Amino acid sequence: MATIFSRIIAGEIPCYKVAENEKFFAFLDINPLVKGHTLVVPKQEVDYIFDLSDEDLAAMHVFAKKVARAIEKAFPCQKVGEAVIGLEVPHAHIHLIPIQKESDMLF
């Protein structure tokens, strides 16, 4: 059965899309820690981020960096932090989280 993220990528479940390329997809988290909290996922269904090939892991981070720069413009903040959790959804993903101050860091 397809993961919830695959169903989002396929357009079966609505989301607020932030960016997309041929391999990766970025959309706002439905339960954001802060405004602009974004998830970056590979279109390939892989359980956990460190199960990706080295090449895809690197490409995912290059894509995430571009998305982070766009988030910084859309949601003024000091920086965009990255977190890898993966407790809830078994489909590899990176959390991109705008941070206002060092004290706002949750991870």
Comparison of 16 and 58: residue with beta carbon closer to ligand 5GP: 16
Contact 92, 84 (CB under 8 A): no
> Contact at 8 Å (CB) between 97 and 83?
yes
Binding mask 11-40 for ligand 5GP (x = CB under 6 A): --x-x-----------xxxxx-------x-
Choose between 4 and 52: whose C-beta lies nearer to ligand 5GP.
Answer: 4
Residue 18, H or E segment: strand 17-20
Q: Is 74 in the site for ligand 5GP (CB under 6 A)?
A: no
Give the C-alpha separation, 8 to 39, whole Å: 12
Q: Which is nearer to ligand 5GP, 31 or 103 (CB)?
A: 31
d(CA 75, CA 37): 10
Q: Which residues bind ligand 5GP (CB under 6 A)?
A: 4, 8, 13, 15, 27-31, 39, 85-89
Residues recognised as catalytic: 93
